Amino acid sequence: MKLLIKNGLIVQPGATKRANVLIVNGRIAEVGSLSDAAGATVIDATNLQLFPGGIDPHVHLHLPTSAGFSADDFESGSRAALAGGTTSFIDFVTPRRGQSLTEALDLRLAEASNCYCDYSFHISPVDWRATLPAEINECIARGFPSFKIYMAYLQTIGIEEDVMMPIMSTIAKAGGMMAVHCEMGKEVDDLRRSYISQGHTSPYYHPLSRPAYTESEAVKALINLVAITNCPVYIVHVSTADALKHISRAQRSGMPVYAETCPHYLLFSDKQYEGDFDQTAPYVMSPPLRKESDIEALWEAIADHTIQAVGTDHCPFHLHQKQEGINDFTLIPNGVGGIEERMKLLYHLGVNSGRISHERFVELCSTAAAQIFGLRSKGNIVAGADADLILWDSQRKETISAANNHSRCDHSIYEGVEVLGGPNMVIKAGKIVMKADAINETTEGKCLFRKSGQ
Where on the chain is the footprint of ligand URP (CB under 6 A)? 60, 181, 285-286, 313, 315, 334-335
- Encoded one letter per residue, x for contact with Zn ion by CB under 5 A and - for no contact, window 362-401 reads ----------------------------------------
CB of 221 to Zn ion, least distance (A): 19
Return the residues of window 270-309 that contact Zn ion according to CB under 5 A.
Answer: none
User: Do the beta carbons of residue 399 and residue 417 sit within 8 Å?
Assistant: yes
Q: Residue 418: CB partners within 8 Å, gap ≥ 6?
A: 348, 397, 398, 399, 400
C-alpha 451/C-alpha 390 separation (Å) is: 25
**Between residues 20 and 286, which has the closer beta carbon with respect to Zn ion?**
286
**Between residues 315 and 372, which has the closer beta carbon with respect to ligand URP?**
315
CB of 157 to ligand URP, least distance (A): 9
CB of 286 to ligand URP, least distance (A): 4
CB of 70 to ligand URP, least distance (A): 8
**Between residues 81 and 434, which has the closer beta carbon with respect to ligand URP?**
81
- Total residues binding Zn ion (CB under 5 A): 1
**Between residues 5 and 222, which has the closer beta carbon with respect to ligand URP?**
222
For 156, phi then psi, to 5°, come to -120, -70
C-alpha 443/C-alpha 439 separation (Å) is: 8
CB of 153 to ligand URP, least distance (A): 7
For 126, the 3-state DSSP assignment is coil
User: Do the beta carbons of residue 116 and residue 445 sit within 8 Å?
Assistant: yes
Q: Which of 70, 100, 136, 83 is CA-nearest to residue 91? A: 70
Strand stretches in 108-154, DSSP E: 118-123, 146-150
C-alpha 434/C-alpha 83 separation (Å) is: 6
User: Do the beta carbons of residue 221 and residue 161 sit within 8 Å?
Assistant: yes
Find which of Zn ion, ligand URP, none residue 341 binds, CB within 5 to 8 Å per kind: none
Residue showing the smallest CB distance to Zn ion in the complex: 313
CB of 78 to ligand URP, least distance (A): 18
Q: Residue 2: CB partners within 8 Å, gap ≥ 6?
A: 22, 23, 24, 37, 39, 40, 41
**Between residues 72 and 313, which has the closer beta carbon with respect to ligand URP?**
313
**Between residues 313 and 386, which has the closer beta carbon with respect to ligand URP?**
313
Cβ-in-10-Å burial (0-12, 13-18, 19+) of 164 comes to: buried
Interaction between residue 72 and Zn ion (CB under 5 A): no
Find which of Zn ion, ligand URP, none residue 285 binds, CB within 5 to 8 Å per kind: ligand URP
Find which of Zn ion, ligand URP, none residue 184 binds, CB within 5 to 8 Å per kind: none
C-alpha 413/C-alpha 220 separation (Å) is: 31
Find which of Zn ion, ligand URP, none residue 334 binds, CB within 5 to 8 Å per kind: ligand URP
C-alpha 346/C-alpha 240 separation (Å) is: 18
CB of 43 to ligand URP, least distance (A): 37
C-alpha 199/C-alpha 408 separation (Å) is: 34
Q: Residue 195: CB partners within 8 Å, gap ≥ 6?
A: 201, 205, 208, 209, 329
**Between residues 330 and 394, which has the closer beta carbon with respect to Zn ion?**
330
Distances (CA, A) of 451 to 52, 89, 120, 314, 448: 20, 16, 12, 25, 10
Interaction between residue 313 and Zn ion (CB under 5 A): yes
**Between residues 169 and 204, which has the closer beta carbon with respect to ligand URP?**
204
CB of 262 to Zn ion, least distance (A): 9
C-alpha 313/C-alpha 265 separation (Å) is: 11
CB of 374 to ligand URP, least distance (A): 21
Find which of Zn ion, ligand URP, none residue 286 binds, CB within 5 to 8 Å per kind: ligand URP
Residue showing the smallest CB distance to ligand URP in the complex: 334
Interaction between residue 183 and Zn ion (CB under 5 A): no
Binding residues for Zn ion, rule: CB under 5 A, are 313
